[in-house]
Amino acid sequence: MISQEISRRTTIAKVRRGNAKLVARDFSPEKEIARQEHEHLVEFERRLSAMLAVQTERDRPIAQLTDELAQNSALLRQSEANRELRAKPDNMVLSRDHAHEQAQSVPQKATSHAAEANERSQ
């Protein structure tokens, strides 16, 4: 029994020494620095992701307003183009009427100029 207990304690001591060596090998300053750098990078990425999410939410209404402004501008341009198209026939009618009036007044003006010239010559 005593020999079994000694054997068991010896085995436990060897395992502890082996584990201690494993832990000591795994715990080097370089590995600790690398682990800490990794933790810092993970934390930095998490914060950056959170900031981007906040920025995206903040920018969403701006993007929506920009889209609405572009749509309204397009509608305004279309409305102005339609108004110009509707006004062209009116302008053409006015121009035609004006040209007709001028054409009718030419013989009247010519007759009155002729009468004035005739009166002066007498």
Average pLDDT over residues 89-114: 61
Domain edges within the chain: 46-122
**What is the tens place of the pLDDT at every residue in 9-22?**
777 766 666 655 55
Residue written as tokens 């009116």? Answer: 90
Long-range CB pairs of 82-90, under 8 A, 24+ apart, other chains included: none
pTM metric for this prediction: 0.38
Question: What is the separation, in whole angstroms, between the first and last Cα of the chain?
Answer: 166
Average pLDDT over residues 64-83: 94
Q: Tell whether the model's pLDDT for residue 110 goes beyond 60.
A: no
For the record, the structure tokens of 22 come out as 């494993």
Between CA 29 and CA 38, with CA 33 as vertex, the angle to 5 degrees is 150
Q: Tell whether the model's pLDDT for residue 98 goes beyond 70.
A: no
**What is the tens place of the pLDDT at every residue in 27-53?**
678 888 899 999 999 999 999 999 999
